[in-house]
């Protein structure tokens, strides 16, 4: 009988349990430069009892940045900052993958090189979506610029260089961020992709950029140290598609052919991507829809309680479960889930930006007992 607390091997990486720390944007890097610091290293090391930590989304270029103070992986200073993180996580016995990110249209000119327009598959703004300017002012999403076909090879090259830099920083692997309405997801969905070249139109064409990016990461790391995150039925950042089952069945089947370490799929019930605390009821589950397309290790994310997570693994619905907000406020979440201990409540007002408050000051069970 498989449990949430049993070890698992994902590709080439052996994990101590099946509890994954989901990628969580926290906006706490050193400025200027978007450089990880010792505070970030402390935060991740506190959570090293997870089977796998997936870092907060990390931009592969300045063009890929969409929010202030998010980390990058495209400068020497950023690589050195991430070395602090990987060193501390490994010293604490943990495993950690870096999530490679390009936000596409979910940005603002103040965050872009030379104040340029953010880029997207097509010149379609994300309705009812927003971000922050470089000086932390809320802003709606403006009209993006459609990428020229000739520019796309440069985007793939930036992802590949990000993978190279992640290896130099000491990570155990990388996750390609193909979810939550950011650039690769924008190419996937026909609601945001109206292109007429080889990256638009058919499902095969719309999936091309995600798959070429995944292939680029595999060329650096090998297939056993590359994962991919997807959000079928995701609505965050104005995502929608006319046939999501066909789209993501194709994408997952292609990832299965590549033998990636894992597919990390957000449940349809959490289509708002953590922007709200509740789940959507009476929607199909990821495994129900897509398990047949992907035979490898499947990580499921989205509003799980400990009991639900245990049941999902026990029933073979998923191989591992990713937790987000619960990991923010419970650095020792695996121990709490295993013992049934009470969970610390999180403070949403400290999620984004700030200092140690709401970041590294949540108590562990050990600290409470002292």
Q: 95: helix, coil or strand? A: coil
CA distances (Å), origin 242, targets 108, 189, 245, 285, 361: 28, 8, 9, 18, 44
* Beta-strand relationship, 226-230 and 173-178: parallel
Contact predicate 321/20, CB 8 Å:
yes
Catalytic residue chosen out of the listed positions 43, 44, 182, 250: 182
Strand partners, 30: 35
Q: 66: helix, coil or strand? A: coil
Give the separation between CA 152 and CA 203, rounded to whole angstroms: 18
- Total residue count of the chain as it appears in this document: 370
Give the separation between CA 21 and CA 211, rounded to whole angstroms: 24
> Phi and psi dihedrals of 306, rounded to 5?
-60, -45
The H-or-E segment that residue 56 falls in is: strand 52-59
Nearest to 59 by CA among 126, 95, 107, 128: 107
Give the separation between CA 74 and CA 60, rounded to whole angstroms: 6
C-alpha 113 chain-centroid distance: 24
**∠ CA 290-294-299 to the nearest 5 degrees?**
80
DSSP-derived secondary structure letter, 223: G
Give the separation between CA 252 and CA 233, rounded to whole angstroms: 14
The H-or-E segment that residue 146 falls in is: strand 145-146
Sign of the alpha-carbon dihedral angle for 168, 20, 189, 122: negative
**∠ CA 245-248-251 to the nearest 5 degrees?**
150
Which residue bears the tokens 């990821």?
286
Tell me, yes or no, if 352 is annotated catalytic.
no
Give the separation between CA 174 and CA 334, rounded to whole angstroms: 22
Question: Catalytic residue positions?
Answer: 182
């Amino acid at each position: 009988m498989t449990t949430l607390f049993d070890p698992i091997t994902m590709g080439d990486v052996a994990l101590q349990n099946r509890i994954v720390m989901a990628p969580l944007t926290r906006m706490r890097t050193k400025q200027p430069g978007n450089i990880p610091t010792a505070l970030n290293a402390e935060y991740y090391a506190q959570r090293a009892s997870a089977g796998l930590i997936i870092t907060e989304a990390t931009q592969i270029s300045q063009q890929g940045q969409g929010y202030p103070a998010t980390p990058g992986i495209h400068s020497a200073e950023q690589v050195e900052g991430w070395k602090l993180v990987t060193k501390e996580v490994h010293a604490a016995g943990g495993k950690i993958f870096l999530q490679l990110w390009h936000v596409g249209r979910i940005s603002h000119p103040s965050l872009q090189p030379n104040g340029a327009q953010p880029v997207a598959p097509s010149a379609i703004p994300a309705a009812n979506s927003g971000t922050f300017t470089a000086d932390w002012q809320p802003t709606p999403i403006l009209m993006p610029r459609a990428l020229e076909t000739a520019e796309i090879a440069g985007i793939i090259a930036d992802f590949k260089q990000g993978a190279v830099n992640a290896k130099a920083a000491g990570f155990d692997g990388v996750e390609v961020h193909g979810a939550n309405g950011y650039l690769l997801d924008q190419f996937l969905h026909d609601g945001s992709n109206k292109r007429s070249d080889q990256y638009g139109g058919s499902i095969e064409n719309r999936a091309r950029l995600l798959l070429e990016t995944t292939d680029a990461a595999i060329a650096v790391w090998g297939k056993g140290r590359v994962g991919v995150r997807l959000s079928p039925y995701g609505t965050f950042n104005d995502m929608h598609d006319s046939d999501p089952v066909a789209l993501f069945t194709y994408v997952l089947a292609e990832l299965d052919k590549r033998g990636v370490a894992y597919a990390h799929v957000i449940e349809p019930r959490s289509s708002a991507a953590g922007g709200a605390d509740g789940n959507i009821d009476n929607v199909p589950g990821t495994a129900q829809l897509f398990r047949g397309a992907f035979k490898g290790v499947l990580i499921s994310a989205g509003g799980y309680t400990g009991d639900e997570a245990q049941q999902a693994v026990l029933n073979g619905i998923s191989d591992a479960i990713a937790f987000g907000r619960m990991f923010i406020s419970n650095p020792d979440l695996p121990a709490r889930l295993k013992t049934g201990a009470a969970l610390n409540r999180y403070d949403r007002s400290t999620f984004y930006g700030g200092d140690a408050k709401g970041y590294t000051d949540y108590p562990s069970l050990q600290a409470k007992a002292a």
